[in-house]
Amino acid sequence: MTLSPFFERAGRPEQDQHRLILISQHFPPNVAVGARRWEQFAQFIAERGWGLDVVMCREPDAVDRRRMDALPEGVRVFDVPQPGLVVERLEHWAARAYRLVVPRRAPHGAATAGTNGTVPGRASIARDEMHWPPTTMREITRFVSAYVVVAREAAWARHAAAAGRRIVRPGVHRAVVSSGPPHMAHEAARQVAATAGLPHIVDMRDPWSLLPMLHETHASPWWYREARRHERQVLADAAVVVANTDHARDGLASAYPEARSRMITVLNGTDSYPVPPSRRGGRFTIGFAGTVYLEQDVRNLMRASSNVIRELSLTPADFGIDFIGDFGGPGQLSIDAFAHEAGIGDYVSVGPRRAHADALEFLAQATMLVVFVGFGREFIPAKTFEYMRFDAWLLILTEPASATAQLLQGTDADLVGPSDVAAIATAIRRRYEMHRQGIAPVRIARDDRFSRAKQAEILLDAIERVSTQDSPRRERSTLTITS
């Protein structure tokens, strides 16, 4: 029985004969940042004369249908809903039980006025801080949450694999591609590729088992065990393994040396669609749109800004910090609380997440855009490439040896250690003085050095090589997706 797409844009005749299958939970109309990478790669796939079939999971409460209108010809999108799980009730029970024993409290000294009046605890926990077996009530609830996270991803992957097997057409599809996180999409694609005898291209937008930390809610060593178990099989069978930074590729190569020769780096890159012109006023505005993973990075920005405000006697009309994104809810950071803690509550605004076009308008109003690199040296936050296209100074909070620092070395970006409050304040103060003198920032992405087009060429050349090899496909084993 055929499977009908919920979105289809008619393609050219050659696109009906040469297609790719992409399995990824994130793709338009979803607004998750993970949808952006393959949304943009789709254009270059079409330019090669290939069609694209996408198996994804629609999020009804977080969609931007305008992004569907921008998809190129030859794209079909299939929705695989997230199945409900009985085990999720166990997680909800455990969370309620934990809150009965340990009510959520604000940290000492943190004001709770603001968007919602709550202040969560730590947002993330480093891998080396976790231990097994769990001994406290909180560690037990984290284990339960980790189990549910993996079970949900595995359940969706089973359904996605079934959909992929119904869509794939040997002789038409050239390869099966998977993009994660969520990383169980890779296992679904592995099974589809094995069934059809096609090469599997694994695109890791972020590390899987090599993540240096996890969100506090499911920070359990059990999660890492399961990640490594599935990752090992996926990489053993992959024709191409794609990392999004050289640092991440090197980490994968160290963990899986037998797959080193099949690994490549494909950065996210800057896009060519127009961004709004800068509309800065007299106020020096530091802007941020997205998600923050490490609360200490935000606190240090607030402390540094407080120092600058005090030293230069600035008012909220002179200086401000504007955030948009998911903040302040359960398990999320309360930006308002951190601002009040630093004594600059009147200088900081916090707004909800916006559709992509509206977020671009927001970014165009900033004098300086801040990037919190967060998790570790392997990461280049995707928003970095978007920020580079605006006429704004970039404040990058990262360590000197990170992938982000390596990318921006030699540019006009301010690269500052995230824990160095004095250095952050110095960078902000210098840019504020330039602003007051009438010096305007100029975008960093002024040529194609950082372009996504170059990165797409690397990726699609690699797919073309493995999809046209005459050697027979080697036998693949099947790792059953379990919950």
Model confidence pLDDT, tens digit, residues 204-238: 999 999 999 998 999 999 999 999 999 999 999 99
Q: Is the peptide bond before 181 cis (omega within 30 degrees of 0)?
A: yes
What's the mean per-residue pLDDT of the chain?
A: 89
Radius of gyration in angstroms for the set of CA atoms belonging to the chain, rounded to a whole number: 23
> What would the mean pLDDT of 443-455 be, rounded to a whole number?
90
| pLDDT the model gives residue 339 | 96
| pLDDT the model gives residue 293 | 72
- Residue 454 to residue 40: CA distance in whole angstroms: 12
> What would the mean pLDDT of 139-164 be, rounded to a whole number?
96
- 166-184 pLDDT per residue, tens: 999 989 999 999 999 999 9
Ranges in the chain annotated CATH 3.40.50.2000:
7-81+143-269+453-467, 284-436
Q: Higher confidence at residue 429 or residue 449? A: 429
Question: Residue 118's pLDDT band (boundaries 50, 70, 90)?
Answer: very low
The 3-state secondary structure of the chain reads: CCCCCCEECCCCHHHHCCEEEEECCCCCCECCCCHHHHHHHHHHHHHCCCEEEEEECCCCCCECCHHHHCCCCCEEEEECCCCCCCHHHHHHHHHHHHHHHCCCCCCCCCCCCCCCCCCCCCCEEEHHHCCCCCCCHHHHHHHHHHHHHHHHHHHHHHHHHHHHHHHCCECCEEEEEEEECCCHHHHHHHHHHHHHCCCEEEEECCCCCCCCEEEHHHCCHHHHHHHHHHHHHHHHHCCEEEECCHHHHHHHHHHCHHHHHHEEECCCCECCCCCCCCCCCCCEEEEEEECCCCHHHHHHHHHHHHHHHHHHCCCCCCEEEEEEECCCCCCCCCHHHHHHHCCCHHHEEEECCCCHHHHHHHHCCCCEEEEECCCCCCCCCCHHHHHCCCCCEEEEECCCCCHHHHHHCCCCCEEECCCCHHHHHHHHHHHHHHHHCCCCCCCCCCCHHHEHHHHHHHHHHHHHHHHCCCCCCCCCCCCCCCC
| pLDDT the model gives residue 103 | 62
- 385-422 pLDDT per residue, tens: 999 999 999 999 999 999 999 999 999 999 999 999 99
What would be the CATH architecture of the domain defined by 7-81+143-269+453-467?
3-Layer(aba) Sandwich (3.40)
Does the pLDDT at position 307 exceed 80? yes
Question: Residue 124's pLDDT band (boundaries 50, 70, 90)?
Answer: confident
Question: Residue 200's pLDDT band (boundaries 50, 70, 90)?
Answer: very high
> What would the mean pLDDT of 285-294 be, rounded to a whole number?
88
% of the chain beyond a pLDDT of 90: 75
Does the pLDDT at position 96 exceed 90? no
| pLDDT the model gives residue 78 | 98
- 312-360 pLDDT per residue, tens: 999 999 999 999 998 866 556 789 999 999 999 999 999 998 988 899 9
Global confidence as pTM: 0.86
Tell me the CATH class for 284-436: alpha beta
| pLDDT the model gives residue 346 | 98
Instruction: Point out the least confidently predicted range of 10-19, 26-35, 116-125, 267-276.
Output: 116-125
